[in-house]
Amino acid sequence: MCLAIPGKIVEIDNKKESATIDYGDGTKRKANVTLVDVEIGDYVLVHAGFAIEKLDEEEAHETLDLFREMLSAGEET
């Protein structure tokens, strides 16, 4: 099973090869963005360090909310 995490692009390098992705709650990581045409402020799905798809903002927030629900349910057990 593969898991891709949505995040917001907050910075893109000069060569447009990598970007800093904000996953929320202060978590930011670099990802390769050569597979998608992106701009700062875009939301993307990231898998194994690669942005593989652009998302609209609403879809990204819905997915992030689902991840938060799953994490909080795991903490309750």
Domain boundaries along the sequence of the chain: 5-76
DSSP assigned state of 36: S
DSSP-derived 3-state class of residue 24: strand
- Asked if the 5-76 domain carries CATH number 2.30.30.140, the reply is yes
70: confidence class by pLDDT, cuts 50, 70, 90: confident
Residue 74 has pLDDT above 90, yes or no: no
Where do we find the tokens 């909310």?
65
pLDDT at residue 3 in the model: 85
Structure tokens at 45: 């799905």
Query: 41, 24 in Cβ contact below 8 A?
Result: no
pLDDT at residue 25 in the model: 81
Q: What is the pLDDT of residues 13-28, one digit of tens each?
A: 999 999 999 998 889 9
DSSP-derived 3-state class of residue 21: strand
